[in-house]
Amino acid sequence: MSASPTWTIAGVRDALLARKTSARELAEDFYARIEQRNPELNAFLALCPERAYAQADRVDAAVAKGQPLPPLAGVPVAIKDVISTESVRTTCGSKILQNYTPPYDATAIERLVKAGVVILGKTNCDEFAMGSSNENSAYGPVRNPAALDRVPGGSSGGSAAVVAAGLAVVAIGTDTGGSIRQPGAYCGIPAMMPTYGRVSRYGLIAFASSLDRIGPFATNITDVATVMSIIAGHDSNDSTSAAVAVADYLAEMEKPVTGLRIGIPEDYFGEGIDPEVKTKVEAGIALFEKLGCKRVPLKMPHTDYAIATYYIVATAEASSNLARYDGVRYGLRVGGNTLMDMYRKTRERGFGAEVKRRIMLGTYALSSGYYDAYYLRAQKVRSLIARDFWNAFEKVDAILTPTTPTPAFKLGEKTADPLEMYLADIYTVTGSLAGVPGISVPCGKTAAGLPIGMQIFASHFGEARILQLSRAFEKAGGFSI
């Protein structure tokens, strides 16, 4: 088999049905690519050939018998290492779970497997998904396939990198403050964060439970829509999962965009934006106007408070969620003379610097005497940020912004200053706090060849609207504008 083609979900299906390849051969081909490319990218933390080939053989048996194939039959996928996969080591990019193997599949994984995917392995990420560059992984940073001296973004940097480098057809990531969209933008591929509650979080190892979401990376919008239609839907194992019907994304996304109102919040184009990013996103907006969309200027006055709000809400929830890593039930244990001693030594040794920093920040914000000033106030500002979105969606069908203020930065460029790193998420955290869905789609490159991302938000459960606009943009050549 040639290692050159960019595989799509439909391409895999056609090749299997035409007997041009088998699911096993395809998996072998991808493992060969991974062996060649992963040493420089460091994007995979674990490979699971045994599980992959067992699934591939099931698909091949179905092809041989002429049985109907499930929608994602034989599609090679990669899963971010914060999502539980039965019999496959899941570390969350942390030393504290270095030897942890989950006894079950997350709901999203279970659905993908039922749809026929072949899971190749687990992708590198910032420790417990806390980071914007993948440099907080205990297993070393991922490198950006578009420029090896640059970060792939974070926290789902590995998932973005493997799809961009052709080491998986689709990857699954998680987004808490931008962790799907920002690496999607930096690596130059579509990357979608669904509405909060649209995809079950069961089996997603929690960072910030009111913000965490699971979503796909792919090379094209059709594949994003196909994966979304599999993983979306209610799950009785997640009390925050929504009992809202899932739209027919593949049909909806082909509808014309003429007449749609696109909101452009001026607050996202001000101070700090790279001129090349601004130029390309402006060109993207102009393309939508050419397609018949109406441009509506917006004000979202609380945008500037989103990072501060996010770093209280997310760290408070993290400090609570990560209390479970105490050396008792799973993961690392460092012995001590007393129970307390064991807890403290285990957590000291097991957690990296950023995780400790966020646990302390969250603990501080929730502690007696500071709760009202920090946590309660942040929850109130979160309401104001959400209200900015509701007010906007009374006037527009979607909101369009840059995904990030700059293209991918260099490895090591922001590691010395945690606050500067946090500000890399300035355009993505707003939608996280409001619970709305968002996507990053490719929107050209800088003169130096670095990918630029454009972000599209819609109102709650407006995934179909986002896919419709993204598909129109893709068809009109917007990805390489």
Partner 1 sequence: MKISREDVLRVAELAHLELAPEEVETYRGQLDEILSYIGKLQELDVSNVQPLTQMRPRSADGASVVGAGVEPELRDDVVVPCSVADAVLAEAPDAAKPFFRVPKVIER
* Catalytic residue annotation: 80, 155, 179
For the bound state, the minimum distance from the C-beta of residue 342 to partner 1, rounded and expressed in Å, comes to 5
DSSP character for 438? E
Cβ closest to partner 1, residue 150 vs residue 198: 198
Residue 267 is classified by DSSP as G
**d(C-alpha 144, C-alpha 446), whole Å:** 15
Residue number with CB closer to partner 1 (126 or 223): 126
- Closest separation in Å from C-beta 93 to partner 1: 18
Which long-range contacts (C-beta less than 8 Å, at least 24 apart) are formed by 371-377? 374/312, 375/312, 375/313, 375/316, 377/312
H-run or E-run covering 265: strand 261-265
Q: Give least dist CB 225 to partner 1, A.
A: 18
Least distance CB 415 / partner 1 (angstroms): 12
CB 396 within 8 A of CB 298: yes
Q: CB 423 → partner 1: shortest distance, Å?
A: 9
Residue 41 vs 211, nearer CB to partner 1: 211
Please compute, for residue 197, the number of CA atoms within 13 A of its CA located in the half-sphere on the CB side.
14
CB of 249 to partner 1, least distance (A): 15
Q: Which residue has the tokens 């109406």?
A: 294
Q: Which is nearer to partner 1, 19 or 394 (CB)?
A: 394
- Residue 21 or 195: the one with the smaller Cβ distance to partner 1 is 195
Characterize 279-292 residue by residue with b for buried, 16 or more Cβ atoms within 10 angstroms of its Cβ, and e for exposed.
Answer: ebbeebbebbeebe
Nearest to 457 by CA among 430, 438, 476: 438
> Which stretches of 115-261 are DSSP H helices?
157-164, 181-187, 221-231, 249-252
Query: Minimum distance between the CB of residue 364 and partner 1, rounded to whole angstroms?
Result: 5
Alpha-carbon span 151 to 146, nearest angstrom:
10
Nearer to partner 1 among residue 185 and residue 242 (C-beta): 242
Nearer to partner 1, 319 or 428 (CB): 319
Query: What backbone phi and psi angles, to 5 degrees, belong to 361?
Result: -60, -45
Task: Tell me how crowded residue 274 is: count the other CB atoms within 10 A of its CB.
Answer: 16
Residue 111: C-alpha distances to residues 8, 48, 74, 119, 210 (Å) = 19, 18, 14, 12, 22
Number of C-beta neighbours around residue 198 at 10 A: 24
